[in-house]
Amino acid sequence: MRKHLALVLLTLAVSSPLYAAVLRLELGSASKALSTEALLEHPQTQLIEIADDVTYKRTMRYRAVPIAALLDGVNAGDHLQVQATDGFAAEIPAAPLLSATGSKAWLAIEDPAQPWPRISQHKPSAGPFYLVWQNPAASQIGPEQWPFQVAAIRQLAPVDERFPKLLPAPQADVAVNNGFIQFQKNCLACHTLNGEGDAQFGPDLNVPYNPTEYFSGNFLYQYIRDPQSLRQWPQGRMPSFSAEVLSDQALGDLISYLRHMAGRKQLGAPD
């Protein structure tokens, strides 16, 4: 009889759309899992509007909870990583996520009873969870800081402590150092370099070869601005970086960083 009941409960849990997904929160030593249902019922969850949604490219309305309400014990000086189910891993300083002024960060929650549209014809929706921003320009939030299909938010040491093989030489100039900042903001969510980084989405950008070694002339610049203008196929997943997201100067610095790192190849220790 009991076994039977357990089976019924299990079937209910599996078939009930309200238990569709779980968000993992790993903050300091505490780790917890919040279900879609628990997040929808969070006292601070509300209906919000996002103008110019980066993923859907239009105005969207979501049920969402302020990210700050989920980050108990996290301080502005801390560092977070938002992991998606597809291997994308955004590195985001806690400060803009917690801030009450400037850009405001929300975790949008897909209610399985009212599913979101597909991202594109061949892709599912941005759910179950999606980090969205109101007024993103105020804190210079870029498109790679809008992770969708979020699975986990983790508090980690900053990138330069976790991944020393990404660092430029101590004597590197300002352009290279600024390029490293641009790399962390725009590229590290998808690419590793010297085998370092948590992303598992695009190829390594230094080993075995650095793109500055095999893209001649202006082609690397052109590729980052618009990958499909150089290599065209429908499944390409490398995004375009417009001058609005990455100014000419920032892109020049980023390429200086990549070129600099070509002289600092280090293979990651085997796992």
- Binding site residues, ligand HEC, CB under 6 A: 88, 144, 186-187, 189-191, 201-203, 205, 211, 223-224, 227, 236-239, 241, 254
CB of 131 to ligand HEC, least distance (A): 14
Residue 20, Cβ density class (10 Å: 0-12 exposed, 13-18 middle, ≥19 buried): middle
Residue number with CB closer to ligand HEC (45 or 184): 184
Q: How far is the CB of 205 from ligand HEC (least distance, A)?
A: 6
Q: Of 66 and 195, which has the nearer Cβ to ligand HEC? A: 195
Q: Return the number of the residue (129 or 180) whose C-beta is nearest ligand HEC.
A: 180
| Cβ-based nearer residue to ligand HEC, 124 or 202 | 202
Least distance to ligand HEC from the beta carbon of 238, Å? 3
Return the C-alpha torsion angle 41, 45, 51, 53, nearest 10: -50
Which pair of structure tokens corresponds to residue 159? Answer: 């990138």
Minimal distance, residue 84 CB to ligand HEC, in Å: 10
Nearer to ligand HEC, 61 or 237 (CB): 237
Phi, psi of 110 (to 5 degrees): -80, 120
Q: Which of 168, 173, 165, 235 is nearest to 195 (CA)?
A: 165
Kindly state the smallest distance separating residue 243's Cβ from ligand HEC, in Å: 13
Cα–chain center distance at 164: 20
C-alpha to C-alpha distance for 247 and 126, rounded to whole angstroms = 27
How far is Cα 189 from Cα 174, in angstroms, rounded to an integer?
Answer: 23
